Each structure stands twice: as structure tokens, then as C-alpha cells.
Structure 1
Amino acid sequence: MRQGDIMKLHYGATSALALATALMASGAGAVGLDRSNQDITAIFEEGNVLELSFGKVFPELSGKDVAVFGGGEYDNVGEDFLNVSTSAKMDFGNGFSGAVIIDQPFGADIDYPTTALALGGTMAQLDGHTITAVGRYQFNENVSVHAGVRRQTLEGDITLSGAAYGPLNGYSVALEENDATGYLVGVAYEIPEIALRAALTYNSAIEHDFDTVESIPAALQAGLGLPAQVPSTTTVETPESWNLDLQTGIAPDTLAFANFRYAAYEDTLVSPQVFSAATGGASLTNIDDNYQVQVGVGRKFSDMFAAQVAVGFEPEGDERISPLDPTNGKRWISLGGAYNMETVTLSGGIRYTMLGDANPETRNPDGSISDRAEFSDNSAVAIGMSVAYRF
């Protein structure tokens, strides 16, 4: 059997044994607030395909206050979450194809128990979804281009609670649901005979203008002469990013693949009006530009069954870590399999992620930064499955 024949056993809406897609729904294995990595590789599927994917993440993210706050413990500040995506891809003939993808590209679920002094009660939730319409044109069997538009919906709630926040203790902000539009463009090079593909995609930043309500603690109300709640508009930009997806046959029935993603999160600032005035223009978020890499190999064992293994990492970033994301760097391994039944393919797998140690920080009244807690030896488990139907 030729190396390219491994493509005849389908794996859902990615071409490189893309069970990895469902598992990439783990925020415990992604840059910044990423959850789906804005994956659009459904557009490279053969024929017409409908797919539905689920990913469930179970983080274990525990720590304790630094000694000056008494060393009180936080038992798992990361909440379990579910990530769902669906896609529909169709061929239109004459080199044209298109896909519609619905996913949840960004999210956060952090909630500090009120059992410790420094950060007890602090929480952050970010929810939303994106609808992406992408088209592809193949000049020949080797070169193609793709482009599309995204309609993104987001909403969020953040509460700062605990002695570490000083006069901001008890501050909260609600970012009301907002829709905004962005775009993507990309190019791909393929050699079908050896199942080789290199696809590069640029995802634009998307700017949201959130209707905002800030709830102001009494200490700030008195100091700034403010009411208990202040409405305003907060502009937040989700990051521009680049995705590089690679694959090639390396032996009959065996495929090697790699994924690289770079996201420019330093421009993703959340600085509502009152919070900005009280902190000299600081942001509620503190996320570095960063990248992640995953490499793996897939093997087709029969016309009905295939499996994959992959490893990946995200390097450590700036030592300054927000309490709203108390990790620094990640390493993971994933295992998965796919079972093909003529027009239907079932895929499933599991990922184990080791989360990097971190010391969350906040500002002191004089503007300096100090460690407030210590998080170490944490991890997350993600399970994923997908169902693909070809017609």
C-alpha cells in the first residue's frame, strides 16, 4: 500500500489523525485563553463531511498563600469544563470547497475557594463561541489558498477578592455579551502521493466593545467619589495568531504530523474604566505572547482502525503571573484511536497535561509587585471524542 493510502481511512475534521483536535479543546494544553486553537483543517477533508466533537477537561490546580498571608490552601481553583465544536465541509467542483465551523476558541473557568486569605473568592469566567466560514481554492494538486470570516461572541465576569488586592478587594466587572468579526487567510502545499501537507493560516485579531458594569468596593467608592456601580464600555482585542499544520507519510500506513501555533496575547488587555483609573492603566489580564508545539505519529492498522500518539509543550513565559491564570508553561501527551464504519467514523482519546509551577502576583499600594500564592505539581486530564459522517 502506498504511503498516501493512509488517507483513505478518515479521522474526522482534520487530515493528520485529527483526534488531536478534540483533545486540543483542553485549555490545559493551549496558549493563553485558547481552547480550540482556531482550527480550520476541516477544509482539507476529502469529500463532504459533517463532524461533531466534544472535549471535557478536568484540571487539578491547587496552591497556597505565601507565608505572609498565613499559607492557607486553595484546593483546585480550576473548574471542569466542556468544549463542543461542529463543522460541515463540502466540495463545489472546479477546485472550490468550503466549510462552516462552530467552536469555542477562548475561555476561562477560575474560582478560588474562600478558604485562604490572599486570594480567596477571586474568580474569572469567559464564555463564547465563534462561527467561521472558510473557502478554499486549489490551483492544482499541490498548491491551494484558503480564506474566510469569523463571527465571534464573548462574555465575561471577573471578581478580585482577598487581602492581596488591598482597596480593590471586592471589585468585580461584568462584560456583557458582544459580537465582533474578523478574518483568516492561508496557503497550503501538498504532495498527495506521500500524504504531505504544509498549511499556514493567519487569524486576525478581533476587537470587542463590551457594555460593562463595574461593582466598586467601599474603599474605592470613598477614595474616588464613585457610586457602587459604574457603567461604561470596555474595548478588548482577542489575539492575532498563526497556525502551521504539517503532515507527511513516513512509511506505508504511517503518518507523522506536527502543529505549531503562535498567539499575540500581549495586546489582549482588559482595563475597564474604574479599574484603569485605580491602577494607573493596568490590565486585569497578564498574558504573554507565546507559542505551542505538538508532534505525533499515526498508524493505520486496518481499513477500520487507526491510532495516534502525540506530545507537546508550551514554554514558560514571563515570571509575572496573574491569579486569573496561575500556571506557567505546559507539557502533555495524548493517545487516541479512530474506528471507521463506511460513512461514519468514531474517534476518541485522552490527554494528560503537566502544568508549570507559578507564583501569582498582585500590585502593592505603592505600585510594586509581590508574590501572593504558590502553585506547583498541578495537572489536567482531557478526554475527547468525535463523530464524522461522510456523504
Structure 2
Amino acid sequence: MKHLIAASAATTLLASSALASGLDRTGQPIGVIFEEGNYAEFSIATTSVDLSGTDNAAFNPLQSATGDVGERFNMIGGAYKTDITDKLSLALIYDEPWGVDVNYPATGSFLLNGTMAEANSRSITSLLRYKINDRFSVHGGLRYQEVDGDITLAGGAYSVLSGYNVKVNRDGAFGWVAGAAYEIPDIALRVALTYQSEITHNFALTESMPAALGGATLNTTTETKTPQSVNLDFQTGVAKDTLVFGGIRWVEHSTTDLNVLSAIGGRDLIDLDDSVSYTIGVGRKFNENWSGSLAYVYEDVDGDNLVSPLAPYHGLQAIRLGVQYQNEKMKVAAGVRYSKLGNAFAAPGGTSVANFSDNKAVSFAVKVGFYF
């Protein structure tokens, strides 16, 4: 029962490769460690973001529209799991946990036109799981992560800083993962708690100063942390071939900053608030091969709705739909997620200059898994 019903939840979980608060994109799932036997999977996802706003009249009487500043982004993922002994399992997980893709068209907002940000990440997690008995297990391991980025500040809102660019050169660093799970296989019940540590990066920067500040190119360094997080995931059978599942994820985004412009006293380009996301859903097995799932996601973000122009939304609500085909040797899952992004004010330096409302994102994902 556990193997067959849990397949329904997997279709929804794969759709987590989407937009979330701060830089969060994947939710850092570790569910592959609970697969039965030897298993490998590959996934690909794409997200289209509709993100636009309008200049505040107090700063621009023409109230210029920003145009669509959200860039489509693609993601890949993969995982491998094997049993070392009857009690000890190993999983290797690749994901792209953090990122941002924002680009303000040059013909749009007078206050922010030309501002852009791109950040990319790659992560490999090596995870061990030890079964204490049929009910309790513990898991933990190491995560290696690489991050790089490129940011440009432009438009009237940045005054003499308009035209500034910083290239964040790729840096790799280690963190760790630890957790525990409780299961009752006969009713497909599993509750898993997982902590992921923050990871500290020491970035080499290439800063191109705007003409108003001399136009020089400087090679500098800065220290930045990606946030720690806690995931609480659960599932349980509630009727024949029917599963209820969900989760809570807390992310300490406020620890992430990018301090640059040290030559003129320093400036923090990232101002993010901590978030908590809640997921609740139901999975249903239709027959021996097909299953589906439907879930609702609500993400709550601390603080007010004054946000960085590099991430101009505040929280979200989403609906996720998944379908999966499975036989003894493989499974193929597809998922779609529609996200309504929370209204926010873009506020460089803490002062609102543009209003973003009625925005959305749509994500599609496909995953193929093999048992061997």
C-alpha cells in the first residue's frame, strides 16, 4: 500500500520546482531517500513569470508601466538512491535550490528601467538514512552548493548609482542536512522533519562603477549566506487508494545579503524577509498504473510589503495538479502549478517607487524514475 499510494504524492511534489519567496525555488526535497529498493530519477521544469508594475506618482507623475520584468527560467534535477544494508540507505540528490531572473525593460519604468538580476545555483546532497526499526529512522548528510550572479542597478530611483553592475563570480561551499522520520507502512503514514543548514559563500566580485562615480572597474570580495531552512512533510492514507499529504517549510531569508560598493561605504543589494509556506493536498490512485493529486499552497512572508526591486512580490498562493503513470520498473510524472503572487511595492533603500499587483507564474514539470 505504501509504495502504490505514495506515488500520488510524488506528482505534486515534482511541481515544487517553481517560484517562491526570496531566492527559494525547489524547497530542497529529500523524499527520494524513502523510495523502495534501488532507484534513479531525472526531472525538468520550466516557469513562466508574469510580473509587472507601475511607477508611483509621487516619484514619476507619468506613472510609467514597468513592463513584464519576470524572466522565464528552466531547472533540472536528478537523484539516485540505493540500499547499502537492510537498515542503511544512501541517496545523491542534485537540485538548483536558489535563483532569481528579473529584467526591467529599458523602455519601461523611468525609475527602474534597465535594472536586472540573475542568480544561479547548483547543489549536490549526499544523504544517509538509518532505520532504527520499522517505525523510526534518522537521516543526514552533506550538501555542496555553487552560486553565481549578475546584478545591474539602473533608472532614476538609483540616482548616482544608476549604471552600476556587479558580477558575482561562482563560489562553492558546504552545508549539512539532518532529520528524522516516523512511519506506519500499513496506512502509508510518514512524518519527516528535515533541517538544512545555512551555507556561507566568500564571493569574488567584479564591480563596474557608474560614470557618476568615476566609471572604474574594481575587484572586491564579500561574504554571503544562503538561508537555513526546516521542512516538515507528512502523508497518510485516509481511505482505499486515497492519500492526504502536506508540509510546512520555514526559510530564514533574512540572513541572505549581498554587501557591495565598499569603496563608497557599502550597500546591501538584497533585503529579504523570512517565510513560511504551507501545503495541503490529496492523492488518488485510479488503477494499477495511474494516479493523480491536487494541492493548495499558501506562503506567508514576515514584514511589510516593501520589497527589493529584484524580487517584487510578497508571498503567494498556488494550486498544483499532478498525474503519474507507474509500473514495476519505472514511473513518469507530470505536474502544473499556477501561482498568484502577492502584491508588493518595489522599494530600493526602503522607499516605495513602484507598485506591483495582480501578478502570476505558471510552472510545468516532468519527472522520469526507474527502479532496478
What's 2:368 paired with?
Answer: 387
The separation in 1 between residues aligned to 2:183 and 2:345, in whole angstroms, is: 45
- Report if aligned partners of 1:6, 1:300 keep a CA contact under 8 Å in 2: no
Matched, 1:172 2:157: no
The separation in 2 between residues aligned to 1:320 and 1:75, in whole angstroms, is: 19
What is the deviation of 1:74? 1.9
Regions of 4+ moved over 6 Å:
none
Matched, 1:8 2:28: no
Cα deviation, 1:238-269, whole Å, max 9, x if unaligned, reads 00110111111111111100111101111101
What's 2:127 paired with?
Answer: 134
Q: 1:317 aligns with which of 302, 325, 350?
A: 302
- Report if aligned partners of 1:151, 1:179 keep a CA contact under 8 Å in 2: yes
Task: Return the TM-score normalized by structure 1.
Answer: 0.91
What is the deviation of 1:20? 2.5
The letter for the 1-side match of 2:111 is: A
What's 1:72 paired with?
Answer: 64
Give the root-mean-square deviation of aligned CA atoms.
Answer: 1.4
- Report if aligned partners of 1:346, 1:387 keep a CA contact under 8 Å in 2: yes
Q: 1:190 aligns with which of 183, 186, 189?
A: 183
Q: 1:254 aligns with which of 212, 228, 242?
A: 242
What's 2:290 paired with?
Answer: 305
Any gaps of 5 or more consecutive residues in structure 1? 222-226, 364-368
- Report if aligned partners of 1:102, 1:131 keep a CA contact under 8 Å in 2: yes
The separation in 2 between residues aligned to 1:178 and 1:37, in whole angstroms, is: 21
What is the deviation of 1:10? 6.2
Q: 1:31 to 1:264 in 2, by over 3 A?
A: same
The letter for the 2-side match of 1:36 is: T
Report SS of the residue matched to 2:306: coil
Matched, 1:238 2:226: yes
Any gaps of 5 or more consecutive residues in structure 2? none
What's 2:83 paired with?
Answer: 91
- Report if aligned partners of 2:242, 2:284 keep a CA contact under 8 Å in 1: yes
- Report if aligned partners of 1:254, 1:299 keep a CA contact under 8 Å in 2: yes
What's 2:138 paired with?
Answer: 145
The separation in 2 between residues aligned to 1:296 and 1:267, in whole angstroms, is: 31
Deviates more, 1:69-78 or 1:43-52: 69-78
- Report if aligned partners of 2:6, 2:188 keep a CA contact under 8 Å in 1: no
Report SS of the residue matched to 2:302: coil
Report SS of the residue matched to 2:254: helix
Q: 1:36 aligns with which of 26, 35, 38?
A: 26
Question: Equivalences for 1:359-370 in 2 at 5 Å?
Answer: 359-363=345-349, 369-370=350-351
- Report if aligned partners of 1:47, 1:90 keep a CA contact under 8 Å in 2: yes
What is the deviation of 1:9? 5.6
Cα deviation, 1:295-344, whole Å, max 9, x if unaligned, reads 10000111100000000111243222100000011000011110113311
What is the deviation of 1:164? 0.3
Report SS of the residue matched to 2:268: coil
Matched, 1:333 2:319: yes
Cα deviation, 1:191-235, whole Å, max 9, x if unaligned, reads 1111111100110110001111111112223xxxxx611111111
What is the deviation of 1:75? 1.9
Cα deviation, 1:65-97, whole Å, max 9, x if unaligned, reads 112322111221010011110000011223000
Question: Equivalences for 1:46-65 in 2 at 5 Å?
Answer: 46-65=36-55
- Report if aligned partners of 1:206, 1:238 keep a CA contact under 8 Å in 2: yes
- Report if aligned partners of 2:274, 2:301 keep a CA contact under 8 Å in 1: no
The percentage of aligned residue pairs carrying the same residue is 41
Q: 1:139 to 1:246 in 2, by over 3 A?
A: same
Matched, 1:112 2:97: no
The separation in 1 between residues aligned to 2:271 and 2:34, in whole angstroms, is: 35
Matched, 1:348 2:342: no
What is the deviation of 1:277? 5.5
- Report if aligned partners of 1:6, 1:253 keep a CA contact under 8 Å in 2: no
The separation in 2 between residues aligned to 1:384 and 1:58, in whole angstroms, is: 12
